[in-house]
Structure 1
Amino acid sequence: MIRTLYIDEMNTLHVCDSPYDIEVTPKWLWVDMSEPTKEENLLLSQFFHFHPLSIEDATTVKQRPKYKEYDDYLFFVFHAIDLRTMKPEEIDIFINSTLIVTYHKEASEEVDKVWHTMLNKKPNEKVTTNEVMYKTLDAIVDNYFPFVYDLEDKVFSFEDRHSVDISTENLIDETFDLREDLLLIRRTVLPMRDLVYRLLEGKVLALSKKQKIFLHHINDHLIKQVEMIESSREMTADIRDNYISLNSFRMNNIMKILTIYSVIFMPLTLIAGIYGMNFDVMPELHWKYGYLAVWIVMIAITVGMIGYFRIKKWF
């Protein structure tokens, strides 16, 4: 689907489907390409004459957040987060001082939000292509917060659950699932933060003071999100290590008890083995009190070893 918004020389806002429908030279033009078909993709090359490499990046290859400079425009790749699957969705932007083209293969809530904002602009209110890009970027970044907060809440809930949930295995599985979600959103937020930082520190865009403040605002949000993600990852790592240590502690206690029992029964097994041999000449075998004496010796050995282990505080 293609939709077009432009301003003529009289600063009047117009909306149409295709840029081919524009009958005047626009002062400012925004074309949004949402879930475009192969035929609609031809607009990028046949109408706008964008560089083939930027068209390839937008239409075929999954890109990381980045920007590239071309002769008469800039090409940006942003990543939004799908509200249902938590997977990144690519939003590509071709922009210069009078033109902006937003390209996304899935419907974008963020772009729709900015589109309606532009439609509600007051007459003669100044609008720039940079403003559209910044507002789109701001909407993308703001939509990260619900996911980050939700993951942080899940991490904090573990502290309340560990005292009542006796299933260590379940908690470990949930912890690894949570770390996978954190890694997924981290791979989206970190490159976006780096991109915004490069825009702030570089000279790619001619930024006014107001635009720099707006971009700093976006950068601050990204920094906060990265810190929250890193904090949550550290907490999940601590939870994972604690439960692994607890499991190891329990296993060590079990092995210690089994070892103690094994050590106690070793001399008893030795005695039983000796007197279980089928020799004819064994004095104790024909002794009247031999059976009782063996039992007394075995009980004495057992009590003595248990007492020794208790004195050593081995259990």
Structure 2
Amino acid sequence: MIRTLYIDELNELRTCDSPYDMEGTAKWLWVDLSEPTAHENLLLSQYFHFHPLSIEDAVSVRQRPKYKEYDDYLFFVFHAIDLKTMLPEEIDVFINSSMVVTYHKEHSEEVDKVWNSVICKRANEKLTTAEVMYRTLDAIVDNYFPFVYELEDKVFSFEDQHSVDISTEELIEETFDLREDLLIIRRTVLPMKDLVYRLLEGRIMELSKKQKIFLHHINDHLVKQAEMIDSSREMTADIRDNYISLNSFKMNNIMKILTIYSVIFMPLTLIAGIYGMNFDVMPELHWKYGYLAVWLLMIGISLGMIYYFKKKKWF
């Protein structure tokens, strides 16, 4: 789907479907290609005459957040997050001083939000293509927060599972799933943070004081999100390590108790084995108090070893 927003020679804000349908010359132009068809993709080359490499980046290949500078325009790649699928969605922006083209293969709520806000602007308000790009970028970054907050809440919820009957295997599996989600958002936030930083430092395009303030606001959000993600990753690593250590501690205690029982019964087994042999000449077998003496000896050995182990604080 193609939709076009432009300011005509009389400074009136108008809308139409395709830029071919504009009346007169546009002083300012925004074309949005949402879920475009192969035929609609031709607009990029046949109407705007964009460089083939930038068209290829937008149409064919999923790119990481980045920018490229061409002769008469800049090309940006932004990544939004789909909260339903938790997967990144690419939004490409072609921009110069009088034209901005947004291109996205999936429907974008962020672009819709900015589009509606531009339509609602008063006629005497000055509108720039840079403002469209920054507002789109701001909407994209703001929509990271629900995902980041949700993952942070999941991390904190692990604290409540100490009192819940949950196996270590199940908890480790949940932890790795959570770390996978954190990795997805981290792969999106960090490159976006780097891109905004380079914008803010003026390495890409000239910025006014108002635009720098706006970008500082976006950068602050990205810094906060990056810190929350790193903190959550560290917490999940600590939770995983703690539960593995706890499981090892429990296993060591079990092995220690079993070992102590085995050591206690080893001399008793030896005594039982000796007197269970079928030799004819065994004087103790015909002794009147032999059975009682063997029982007292085994009980004495057991109690003595238990006393010794307790004194050593082995259990």
Spell out the pairing of 1:20-31 with structure 2 (5 A cutoff).
20-31=20-31
Task: Provide Cα deviations, 1:140-195, integer angstroms capped at 9, x if missing partner.
Answer: 00011111112222222322342x21324343333222222212111111111011
Residue of structure 1 in register with 2:294 after alignment = 294
How many equivalent pairs are there? 314
Pair 1:114-2:108 in alignment: no
Question: 1:166 corresponds to which letter in structure 2?
Answer: D
Spell out the pairing of 1:80-159 with structure 2 (5 A cutoff).
80-159=80-159
Spell out the pairing of 1:61-80 with structure 2 (5 A cutoff).
61-80=61-80
Residue of structure 2 in register with 1:6 after alignment = 6
Task: Provide Cα deviations, 1:186-216, integer angstroms capped at 9, x if missing partner.
Answer: 1111111011011112431111111111111
Task: Provide Cα deviations, 1:242-298, integer angstroms capped at 9, x if missing partner.
Answer: 222221111111111111011111111122222222333322233333222222211
5+ residue gaps, structure 2, are none
Distance between the aligned counterparts of 2:276 and 2:195, measured in 1? 81
Question: 1:237 corresponds to which letter in structure 2?
Answer: A
Question: 2:281 corresponds to which letter in structure 1?
Answer: V
Task: Provide Cα deviations, 1:64-91, integer angstroms capped at 9, x if missing partner.
Answer: 0000111111110000010211111000
Pair 1:259-2:256 in alignment: no
Distance between the aligned counterparts of 2:35 and 2:268, measured in 1? 80
Residue of structure 2 in register with 1:165 after alignment = 164
2:164 match: secondary structure: coil
Question: 2:187 corresponds to which letter in structure 1?
Answer: R
Q: CA deviation at 1:236?
A: 1.8
Residue of structure 2 in register with 1:304 after alignment = 304
Distance between the aligned counterparts of 2:79 and 2:233, measured in 1? 21
Distance between the aligned counterparts of 1:121 and 1:92, measured in 2? 24
The alignment's TM-score, normalised by the length of structure 1, stands at: 0.96
Residue of structure 2 in register with 1:181 after alignment = 181
Distance between the aligned counterparts of 2:276 and 2:196, measured in 1? 83
Question: 1:81 corresponds to which letter in structure 2?
Answer: I
Question: 2:6 corresponds to which letter in structure 1?
Answer: Y
1:166 match: secondary structure: coil
Contact 1:12–1:124, Cα closer than 8 Å, also in 2: no
Spell out the pairing of 1:146-295 with structure 2 (5 A cutoff).
146-162=146-162, 164-169=163-168, 170-295=170-295
Contact 1:44–1:50, Cα closer than 8 Å, also in 2: yes
What is the aligned-residue RMSD (CA, Å)? Answer: 1.4
Distance between the aligned counterparts of 1:166 and 1:172, measured in 2? 14
Q: CA deviation at 1:136?
A: 0.1
Distance between the aligned counterparts of 1:262 and 1:297, measured in 2? 18
Question: 2:252 corresponds to which letter in structure 1?
Answer: N
Distance between the aligned counterparts of 2:249 and 2:256, measured in 1? 10
The alignment's TM-score, normalised by the length of structure 2, stands at: 0.96
| Moved beyond 4 Å, runs of 4+ | none
Distance between the aligned counterparts of 1:247 and 1:90, measured in 2? 43
Question: 1:83 corresponds to which letter in structure 2?
Answer: L
Question: 1:167 corresponds to which letter in structure 2?
Answer: I
Contact 1:77–1:90, Cα closer than 8 Å, also in 2: yes
Distance between the aligned counterparts of 1:198 and 1:279, measured in 2? 93
Task: Provide Cα deviations, 1:34-75, integer angstroms capped at 9, x if missing partner.
Answer: 000111111111111111111111111111000011111111
1:4 match: secondary structure: strand
Aligned-pair identity in percent equals: 81
Worse-superposed segment, 227-236 or 73-82: 227-236
